[in-house]
Amino acid sequence: MKIFADTADLAAIETLAEAGLIDGVTTNPSLIAQSGQSFLAVIAEIAVCVEGPVSAEVTGTEFDQMMREADVLRAIAPNICVKLPLTLAGLRACRRLSAEGCSTNVTLCFTANQALLAAKAGATFVSPFVGRLDDIGLVGCDLLHDIRQVYDNYPNLQTQILAASLRSANHVQMAALIGADAATMPPKVIEALAEHPLTRSGLEGFLRDWAATGQSILQ
């Protein structure tokens, strides 16, 4: 499963990329706003940090504006993936951009029916929002399972499932077990994937035993 960092924090992206832990980056207008920097400048810098897709979202809600914004975004770098809302206008824009060879990410998906339409429109990725469904008392990972089943029923559908709104290491594990093609999450969740209390306590024990020997690997 590909792992994407859901952030506009350049320092965090660089650290994760250098460690080989991420395959791409997703952003949205809210994340860019939090950075306090120029939208286009931040996207351009992120695109240099990673080789994989960088999702940059349009802000228009009508087809014509989406297409104009998409032209600006896709001109930034070859690895820009234009992010579009899962609306009829967004699906129409997705269809046009996909036909032109542009990578697309259809976001704010909350049903398998929506995911089916995104695939019909030729989306590169569809982003089901797991955490937001949990917030309203549903089981967000059930949506991933449903989309996986629908897509597997029809092998001609090439859209990748990009599990989004993941808030915990458990969310990530469930996404991987279900078979999501990719998952995007904040850097702190990526870091949490490496954590386990037994790992930490085991390391502390090793270090105590080593210190007792009075030796050093570095002479």
Structure tokens at 110: 């909350």
- Check the CA dihedral 184-177-171-116 and report its sign: positive
85 bridge partner residues: 107
Q: Is 120 a catalytic residue?
A: no
Q: Which of 194, 152, 146, 155 is nearest to 172 (CA)?
A: 194
Per-residue HEC secondary structure of 140-195 comes to HHHHHHHHHHHHHHCCCCCCEEEEECCCCHHHHHHHHHHCCCEEEECHHHHHHCCC
**Of all helices (H) and strands (E), which one includes residue 126?**
strand 125-128
Q: Which is the catalytic residue, given 2, 83, 120, 188? A: 83
The angle subtended at Cα 53 by Cα 152 and Cα 117, nearest 5°, is 40
Contact 218, 60 (CB under 8 A): no
CB distance 163 to 180 below 8 Å: yes
Residues tagged active-site: 83
